[in-house]
Amino acid sequence: MIADRILGVQRSPFYSIMDLAAKRPDCIYLQLGEPDFVTPEHIREAAKKALDEGHTHYGPDRGLPELRQLIAEKIQREHGVAYKWQDEILVTAGGQSALHVAVMALANPGDEIIIMLPHYPPYVVNAQLAGAKAVFVKLKSEDNFVPNPADIEKAVTDRTKLIMVLTPNNPTGAVYPKETLRALLDIAKRHNIVLISDEVYECLVYDGAQHTSLLSFPDAREHVVQVNSFSKTYAMTGLRVGYLAASADKQAQFLKYHHTANISANVPSQMACVTALKGPQDCVEEMRRAYQERRDLTVKLINDIPGIHCTVPRGSFFVFADIRELGMPSLEFAEYLVRDAGVVLTNGSGFDYEGFVRVSYAAKPENIKEAMRRMKEAVIKLRERKKA
């Protein structure tokens, strides 16, 4: 009765942890890829006003013109390149939909899509749904999970159609240097490949690190599709607005897919995004600063746990911590933590990367402190049990 294309997709393994956590009411959740801040008030007010004024109808399928103009202006201002709002910007139902639309419209069955490990799991599902083959390149913790372009090029074949690029990264927190991105673009140009550049964490960079957008290279247009979102920057994951920036010929095809799946993105939410882009940006900076403090706290407390180590990530809101010394599969460890300590984090195997766990620090500092205290106790117990 059900199509093979979806039967072949595994339900996210994270749910097994969540099901377990549901049995323990005192759990602290450090597994979410989601800001714990409430959407800033002026943005919420704009959504409410849109509803009150009756903006409850379909919008133009490409997105509200004013929003597309503001997005194009933002790209020009931040990356120094001109993307035409009329036909090079498409507003989608979140970055997630943007990713799906782009992959479905670009990859043919049998094409190969290079995905770096650890990955954002929907990349693999999109490849599967497109009938394409996911080709994995494992990134190294010794390189702080920054890709080595030569390793990526080794994975290229004459079937390679897309390379998924994610900076700042989920789950590693890595921020790719400009030279790495330049080298990836050169590979794309040499082999006629498109880079899907997922930049949803663009504003969450720390210690003065700079996010470089692949769009900013003047020769990027033919080979880069930018996926972006309002979710993380403005803590508005539930309002579901993202966008694609790409050449007009690609957007013409993306639009057909997007229209069929969504008609348009949510109109009151798009009006809230207009306010987000036009309004003061100090809320973004305040949240960014708070994340940086939480990151510092998390890194310090993790490195104080015997057998667990992490480096200081420069972006997003995740720490990818090395648990190899514990000699336990990451899923087993994550389940143990839920059962024994009521701490919920994400097993590295969920990102096809064993030996690590992802800790989200998009949580209140007191929760981070308590979670790390419980985790330390649980790990000490585990090591003692192993010794005995």
Ligand X SMILES: Cc1ncc(COP(=O)(O)O)c(C=O)c1O
Q: Minimum distance from CB of 241 to ligand X (Å)? A: 8
Yes or no: say if 347 and 17 are a contact pair by the CB < 8 Å rule.
yes
Which residue sits closest to ligand X, CB atoms considered? Answer: 94
The structure tokens listed for 126 are 């999109």
Nearer to ligand X, 254 or 326 (CB): 254
Q: Are 115 and 124 in contact (CB under 8 A)?
A: yes
The pattern of x and - marking residues 220 through 249 that bind ligand X according to CB under 6 A reads ---------x-x-----x----x-------
Q: What is the CA radius of gyration of the chain?
A: 21
Q: Kindly state the smallest distance separating residue 382's Cβ from ligand X, in Å.
A: 29
Nearer to ligand X, 346 or 349 (CB): 346
Residue 295 contacts residue 168 (beta carbons within 8 Å): no
* Options 40, 59, 63, 94; binder of ligand X; rule CB under 6 A: 94
Contacts of 70 (CB under 8 A, 6+ apart): 273, 274, 277, 278
166 binds ligand X (CB under 6 A): yes
Question: How far is C-alpha 157 from the geometric centre of its chain's CA atoms?
Answer: 26
Query: Which CB, 70 or 165, lies closer to ligand X?
Result: 165
Q: Which amino acid is at 88?
A: E
Write the binding mask 119 to 148 for ligand X: x where contact by CB under 6 A, - elsewhere: -x----------------------------
Q: How far is the CB of 33 from ligand X (least distance, A)?
A: 4
- State the distance between the two ends of the chain, measured CA to CA, in whole angstroms: 53
Question: Contact at 8 Å (CB) between 297 and 361?
Answer: yes
Residue 373 CB, shortest distance to ligand X, in Å, is 27
Q: Which of 187, 200, 341, 379 binds ligand X (CB under 6 A)?
A: 200
CA 228, 218, 152, 360 torsion-angle sign: negative
The interface with ligand X within residues 96-115 (CB under 6 A) comprises 96
Judged by beta carbon, residue 231 or residue 247, the one nearer ligand X is 231
**Dist CA 348 CA 310 (whole Å):** 13
Minimum separation from the CB atom of position 99 to ligand X (A): 6
- Contact assessment for residue 215 and residue 82, using Cβ atoms and an 8 Å cutoff: no
Q: Which is nearer to ligand X, 229 or 247 (CB)?
A: 229
x-or-dash string of contact with ligand X, 20-59, rule CB under 6 A: -------------x--------------------------
- Alpha-carbon distance values, 289 to 185, 202, 326 (Å): 31, 14, 33
Instruction: Specify the amino acid at residue 160.
Output: T
Contact positions toward ligand X, by CB under 6 A? 33, 94-96, 120, 166, 170, 198, 200, 229, 231, 237, 242
